Structure formats: structure tokens, C-alpha cells
């Protein structure tokens, strides 16, 4: 077998099932690739070599015994370090959880194991998933395989870079404001944020619980759909999990791949298709719209007037929830503890631990959130932001009375140079200008590669109504069938 790391997940699963390669060979090829390139890319915070090889051997044994294999059996997957993995370090990109080995698996990790996928390790991320570049990881940034001096997006830059660098064919991300879709866009990979509640949050380290949505990352739309199907579905251990079957995303991806969009109505979000995005991004987007039209889609312009308020509303709601969620990191229950010398009070130890354990962006969010929730300001900030959230939901509802799905560029700009947006937090926040409305509404969104601008990948975002995740896969797969996939320069 030439290079197993260049195959799609669907191809790997087919070869393993047919006995043309083994899960062990596939896993070893990816571990070798990680060893060859990850000192330059730094997609991984932890590589679980032994765990991966054990899991691969178990799949091979099951196959040898004639037991049925799942659709992704033997396929390696990289998991964002935001999901709890039993006995395997889980840091959320933060010093405050350094050394923590969870005593349990997140539901999604359990499902991945049950499906016979092989977890390679944990991927780098902005601390607590707060950021758009992985530069806020306490363990150093990940680099974009398209250009090692540029960011791979964030917060799930490690997962996206692992795919683009052929270190893994599949990865898991989590999307609170764009952390799956934006890294997908800037690395030329596919990232899908499922309907909120369509994928379990049990064992996901919480950032903003009303927004956090785990989802699939891959190099092709079909692979993302296959992973979505395995990881998604109702989980009684997550109180906001939706008791409904996973939409048939795999069938939709296959249908889309036929390249026929006859009868599909798509709305271009007026507010996101004019100024606000780089010219090269808009040019790639416009060309993709032409491709969608050629495949039979009907395209209309739809105004979503409140989308412009999504970013400020998000930066009140998400930090508010974070300030509450992160209170549990007190130096007593998990990870780091600082100053516990028997002399200091509990409060002093907590405060020293949080001072040492949290990075500057996390502290900024905690302060923003605490302020927005404080009694004198609650109505003016948090309450107001919740009203904006309702108005954005209404924009989506009325748009979906007219069209099947909405489209826009995924991000306003392509991968920027490392260090170029860290001085001004607002410049970093702008990376999610186009992805945040979907999170506030709770619907699904996907980013699919749609071209290059100055040699860097551009993503197109498809947004669909809640629980209509299949629609976005159909459109994304159609676009992929027209444009092909995009391969970075060799590392």
C-alpha cells in the first residue's frame, strides 16, 4: 500500500473491511506521519501511541474472528483536547488542567471507541476553546500546514491542522462560535457544527453551555458525514441533548456528490457577502455561487438584519456562561494547585491557582462575563444580548421560510500570520463574524473548501434549519464534487 495517510476515512474503512490492509498498518502509518511532521505543525498535545495500537489490534482481531465491523472501523481519529478521555491527559489547552487524566470517557469518545475508530491522541486548541488561532494555547501554537508561519484557525486549530498535514483522516472539534468551521476554512478542510443538542456535551469541558457543540472535521464532506453519524444522537446524560435520530447526513452527502442541486433554494446572506470580507475571499465565494447555480440551485439574496449584532451579543453571552462554568477550576477538584503549603487559607490557594493556571484571554473572558452578569449591569448587557439572540433566531426562521439553506463565506479573511492579531482582542474576535449567528440560533453549519486566495484556502459556509443537518451536507458535497479538494504544499 503506497501512502495510507493520503486516503479518505471511507477508503480506509473499505480497505480494512475487505482485509486489504489492517487497522494496525493504517494506525502505524499515521503515527509515523505524526512523528515525521508534528514537531513542525504541533497539531497534537498528546499522542497515545500504545492506546492507538491496542485499539487497532482489537479491530483486526474482531475482523479475523468474523465479527461485524462498523462503518469507520480501523479509521484513526484525532480528538480535540476539550473532550474527556479516560486515563489520557485532557488539558483543554490550559495549565490549570495540566496532569489531569479523566476517570471517564466523554460520550462521544465512547461512541468512537465502540465504532472501532482508533484514537491517535489529543489535539491542540486555544485555552478553554477561547480564540481563533490556537495562539492562546498554554502549550504553544499550532501551525498551518499551508504556511507554517500562519495560524491554523481556532480554537480547534490542532484538529484542522492534523487533517491538512495528513496526520489523521478524521478529527473531532467543538464549535461555540466557529471553532470547527473557521479552522476548517483556513486549512482547506471540512468542518461541521451539528444542530445544538445533536451531539452530546457529556464529557466536553464546558465553555458556554448554551452554545457548545461538538462536531466532525475531515478532508471530505462524506467523511465528515460518516463521523457525524457515529458521534451524534441522543444522550440521556446531556440534559440538552435532543431525543431525535441523527438526520441522514451520509445519504445527503452521497446525494450531493451527484452534483445535482435542482430544486434547492439557497439564500446568500446579504450582510455577509459585501464588505467585511477580504476581496480574495469574496471572489472565491462568488465563483462558488456560480458553480452552485450551474448545478441547478436557485440563488436569492436574503437580508438577515440582526446578524450584524451577533458578534457583540456573543461576547456577552459566551463570557457570561464561561465565568460561571470556569468557577469549578479552584485548585481543589482538578489539575493544578498552587500555594497549598498548610499556612495559606483555602481562598488564597484558590486565587493563586487561578492566577497561575489561567492565561490572559481566559481571564479577560471571566472578567467580561462577571461584569455582564453583575446586578447593576445584567439588564443592560446580558439581558440585552439575550434579546438580540431572539432577533437573530427570528431572522433565521423567516429566512428558512424562503430558502432551504443560507450560504456565506465562512470567514472574513484567510489564515493570518502568527502574532498579527494577538495585540488587539477585537481583531481576533472578528474571525468569527460569519459563524457566530448559527451558534446563537442553534442550527447546523458546515464549512467546505471553495477555492484559494493568494494560495491560501477559503471556505464556504452552508447554514441550515435546526435538525436539517442533512441539507447542509448535500449542498457542501455538491460544491466539493464541482471544485474538488485542496491539497497544501508538501511538508
Q: Which residues are catalytic?
A: 80, 155, 179
Q: Does 175 bind ligand GLN (CB under 6 A)?
A: yes
Cell of 239: 440534559
Q: Closer to ligand GLN at the Cβ: 166 or 358?
A: 358
User: Position of cell 448559527?
Assistant: 438
Q: Does 116 bind ligand GLN (CB under 6 A)?
A: no
Among 8, 179, 220, 325, the residue binding ligand GLN under the rule CB under 6 A is: 179
Q: Which of residues 393-452 bind ligand GLN (CB under 6 A)?
A: 432
The residues near 201 (Cβ < 8 Å, ≥ 6 apart) are 209, 212, 213, 214, 238, 240, 241
User: In whole angstroms, how close is the CB of 136 to ligand GLN at the nearest point?
Assistant: 8
Residues 153-172, one symbol each (x = binds ligand GLN by CB under 6 A, - = not), give: --x-----------------
Q: Closer to ligand GLN at the Cβ: 250 or 318?
A: 318
Helix (H) or strand (E) holding 389: helix 384-402
* Cα(435)–Cα(417) distance, integer angstroms: 21
Q: In what order do the strands lie in the sheet with 118-123?
A: 44-47, 118-123, 76-80, 170-175, 213-218, 190-193, 445-453, 456-463, 405-409, 265-269, 298-302
Q: Using CB under 6 A, which of the segments 63-71, 108-116, 177-185, 461-469 binds ligand GLN?
A: 177-185
Residues 184-213, one symbol each (x = binds ligand GLN by CB under 6 A, - = not), give: -----------------------x------
* Cα(136)–Cα(130) distance, integer angstroms: 8
Q: Closer to ligand GLN at the Cβ: 7 or 78?
A: 78
User: In whole angstroms, how close is the CB of 288 to ligand GLN at the nearest point?
Assistant: 23
Q: Does 271 bind ligand GLN (CB under 6 A)?
A: no
Q: Closer to ligand GLN at the Cβ: 71 or 152?
A: 152
Among 102, 141, 178, 449, the residue binding ligand GLN under the rule CB under 6 A is: 178
User: In whole angstroms, how close is the CB of 129 to ligand GLN at the nearest point?
Assistant: 4
* Cα(359)–Cα(355) distance, integer angstroms: 8
Q: Closer to ligand GLN at the Cβ: 132 or 189?
A: 132
* Cα(480)–Cα(487) distance, integer angstroms: 13
Asked if residue 177 lies in contact with residue 431, where contact means CB atoms within 8 angstroms, the answer is: no
* Cα(470)–Cα(247) distance, integer angstroms: 6
Size of the site for ligand GLN (CB under 6 A): 13
Q: Using CB under 6 A, which of the segments 54-62, 125-133, 138-146, 283-291 binds ligand GLN?
A: 125-133
Q: Closer to ligand GLN at the Cβ: 48 or 321?
A: 321
User: Smallest Cα–Cα separation from 176: which of 125, 226, 205, 214?
Assistant: 214
* Cα(73)–Cα(82) distance, integer angstroms: 23
Can you give the binding site for ligand GLN, defined by CB under 6 A? 129-132, 155, 175-179, 207, 318, 432
Amino acid at each position: 500500500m503506497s501512502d495510507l495517510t493520503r486516503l479518505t476515512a471511507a477508503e480506509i474503512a473499505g480497505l480494512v473491511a475487505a482485509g486489504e490492509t489492517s487497522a494496525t498498518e493504517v494506525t502505524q502509518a499515521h503515527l509515523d506521519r505524526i512523528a515525521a511532521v508534528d514537531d513542525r505543525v504541533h497539531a497534537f498535545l498528546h499522542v497515545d501511541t500504545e492506546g492507538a495500537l491496542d485499539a487497532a489490534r482489537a479491530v483486526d482481531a474482531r475482523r479475523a474472528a468474523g465479527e461485524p465491523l462498523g462503518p469507520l472501523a480501523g479509521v484513526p481519529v484525532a480528538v480535540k483536547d476539550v473532550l474527556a478521555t479516560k486515563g489520557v491527559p485532557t488539558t483543554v489547552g490550559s495549565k490549570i488542567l495540566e496532569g489531569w487524566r479523566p476517570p471517564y470517557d466523554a460520550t462521544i469518545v465512547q461512541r468512537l471507541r465502540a465504532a472501532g475508530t482508533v484514537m491517535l491522541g489529543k489535539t491542540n486548541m486555544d485555552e478553554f476553546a477561547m480564540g481563533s488561532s490556537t495562539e492562546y494555547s498554554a502549550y504553544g501554537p499550532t501551525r498551518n500546514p499551508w504556511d507554517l508561519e500562519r495560524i491554523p484557525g481556532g480554537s480547534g486549530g490542532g484538529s484542522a491542522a492534523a487533517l491538512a498535514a495528513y496526520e489523521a483522516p478524521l478529527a473531532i472539534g467543538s464549535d461555540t462560535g466557529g471553532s470547527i468551521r473557521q479552522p476548517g476554512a483556513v486549512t482547506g478542510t471540512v468542518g461541521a457544527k451539528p444542530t445544538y443538542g445533536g451531539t452530546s456535551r457529556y464529557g466536553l469541558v464546558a465553555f458556554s453551555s448554551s452554545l457548545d457543540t461538538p462536531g466532525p472535521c475531515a478532508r471530505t464532506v462524506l467523511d465528515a458525514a460518516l463521523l457525524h453519524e457515529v458521534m451524534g444522537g441522543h444522550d440521556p446524560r446531556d440534559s440538552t441533548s435532543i431525543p431525535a435520530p441523527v438526520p441522514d447526513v451520509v445519504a445527503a452527502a452521497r446525494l450531493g456528490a451527484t452534483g445535482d442541486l435542482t430544486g434547492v433554494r439557497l439564500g446568500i446572506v446579504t450582510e455577509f457577502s459585501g464588505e467585511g470580507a477580504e476581496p480574495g475571499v469574496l471572489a472565491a465565494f462568488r465563483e462558488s455561487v456560480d458553480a452552485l447555480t450551474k448545478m441547478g440551485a436557485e440563488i436569492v439574496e436574503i437580508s438577515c438584519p440582526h446578524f450584524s449584532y451577533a458578534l457583540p451579543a456573543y461576547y456577552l453571552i459566551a463570557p457570561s456562561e464561561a465565568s460561571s462554568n470556569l468557577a469549578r477550576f479552584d485548585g481543589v477538584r482538578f489539575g493544578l494547585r498552587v500555594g497549598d503549603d498548610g499556612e495559606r487559607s483555602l481562598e488564597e490557594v484558590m486565587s493563586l491557582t487561578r492566577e497561575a493556571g489561567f492565561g490572559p484571554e481566559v481571564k479577560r473572558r471571566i472578567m467580561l462575563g462577571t461584569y455582564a452578569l453583575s446586578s447593576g449591569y445584567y439588564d443592560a448587557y446580558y439581558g440585552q444580548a439575550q434579546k438580540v439572540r431572539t432577533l437573530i433566531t427570528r431572522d433565521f426562521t423567516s429566512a428558512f421560510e424562503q430558502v432551504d439553506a443560507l450560504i456565506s463565506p465562512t470567514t472574513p479573511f484567510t489564515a493570518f500570520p502568527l502574532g498579527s492579531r494577538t495585540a488587539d482582542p477585537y481583531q481576533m474576535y472578528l474571525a468569527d463574524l460569519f459563524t457566530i449567528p448559527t451558534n446563537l440560533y442553534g442550527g447546523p453549519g458546515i464549512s467546505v473548501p471553495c477555492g484559494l486566495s493568494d494560495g491560501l484556502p477559503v471556505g464556504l459556509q452552508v447554514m441550515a434549519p435546526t435538525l436539517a443537518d442533512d441539507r447542509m451536507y448535500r449542498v457542501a458535497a455538491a460544491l466539493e464534487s464541482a471544485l474538488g479538494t485542496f491539497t497544501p504544499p508538501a511538508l
